[in-house]
Amino acid sequence: MSKVYVSHNTIVSSLGYDSLSVVQKIKDGRSGLQTISDIKLLDQPICASIVDTRKLPNIAKEPNLEEKYTRLEQMLLVSLGNVIQASQIELTDRVGLIISTTKGNIDVLDHDSPFPRERAYLAELGKVLKDFFGFKTSPIVLSNACVSGLLAIAAAKKLIAQDCFDHVFITGGDLVSKFTLSGFNAFQALSAEPCRPYDKNRSGINIGEVSASALITKDNTNLAKESVVILGDASCNDANHISGPSRTGEGLYRSVKLALKEAKSKPEGVDFISAHGTATLFNDEMEAIAFNRLNLQNTPLNSLKGFFGHTLGASGLLETIVGMHSLHQNTLFASQGFEEIGVSQPINVIKKTEPKPMDTFLKTSSGFGGSNTAIVFKKVSE
């Protein structure tokens, strides 16, 4: 099988509207999380990251953009538009589109929304993006809890390997909404302080909003300098509980093991892990157990949730893009908020951003319903 690459990319977040500026702020240790008191979202203060869509560049080059497109659509249009432009790829029937999200335009269900309620259907979100950019093929909307973003990369790789497409554009996003916040609050999982994955004094999860986009391609003639090759991927459902992960990390363990097998890589060949790290008791513990079972307990590991919060259906794609830049810059990024280990098994959480020659990284995601996905990425040779 020919190589499949992750190439051009854009991040739209509270830290900025392009990947390079966002990654630089992560490198500088700047978080996009802030305390928010908004009764329309939740009747108590929360800590979250919110995108200021008023400052988004107008990719449509037309007035009153906010009247035609929802907040999420505006974010996706900007991130995806930048990637399409950078790729210089003509949108023929050999070019696919995958959209990863958990709830899409869920905010249009609010009573004060100016948009019709039908806009909340995920298929409508796909139609908006297809029509705006002129894709010739029907979009695939991938909504599998919080593994959606990473799973979209694996799905794109398989579609290219099966000769369905030559290129696949992926875009992912979710919002900080009343619906989402009320759900996590019902679990008593929300923290009013910045989250601290794997830390002894963590107090719960933060929710964040972001849009992220990337090109998956088999063509190596116009790759971004931070591009990576997809060496291996796997997904496994632990079938443990509707929201709680397997206490033994079984689904994550199997996903990583199979991804390493396809990549023909051993645990010691992984330079760092970009982990899921939600800062909840069961998730952090499950990951620590799984990584120990895989002999990855000494591999440098971070969670990026301390910079963005949990961005749901976009998190796996967002964190892959940051991991690509980390690999390209030969720099390990600190796991924001971590000070003292708070899980029962030893893991090597990165405390300080520092240089390190690197070639390969592992990205993992886990989500409600017992879903787990893992992908091994390798730096493209010069």
Predicted confidence (pLDDT) per residue in 306-358, tens digit: 999 999 999 999 999 999 999 999 999 999 999 999 999 999 999 999 999 99
Same domain (yes/no): 62, 187 = yes
Give Cβ neighbours of residue 155 (< 8 Å, ≥ 6 apart). 98, 140, 142
Name the domain count of the chain: 2
| pLDDT score for 330 | 98
Same domain (yes/no): 132, 241 = no
Same domain (yes/no): 308, 283 = yes
Same domain (yes/no): 55, 197 = yes
Alpha carbon distance 168, 260 (integer Å): 24
Contact 121, 108 (CB under 8 A): no
| pLDDT score for 332 | 98
Q: Report the Cα 67 to chain-centroid distance in Å.
A: 28
User: Predicted confidence band at 66 (pLDDT cuts at 50, 70, 90)?
Assistant: confident
Same domain (yes/no): 104, 35 = yes
Cβ neighbours of 63 (radius 10 Å): 9
CATH assignment at residue 254: 3.40.47.10
Same domain (yes/no): 28, 159 = yes
Domain of 332 in residue numbering reads as 228-379
Work out whether the CA dihedral 194, 197, 201, 207 comes out positive or negative: positive
Q: Is residue 319 part of a domain?
A: yes
Q: Is residue 264 part of a domain?
A: yes
Share of the chain above pLDDT 90, in %: 88
* pTM of the predicted structure, to 2 decimals: 0.97
pLDDT value at 382 more than 70? no
Same domain (yes/no): 14, 92 = yes
Same domain (yes/no): 28, 136 = yes
Q: Is residue 222 part of a domain?
A: no
Q: Is residue 223 part of a domain?
A: no
Alpha carbon distance 127, 111 (integer Å): 23
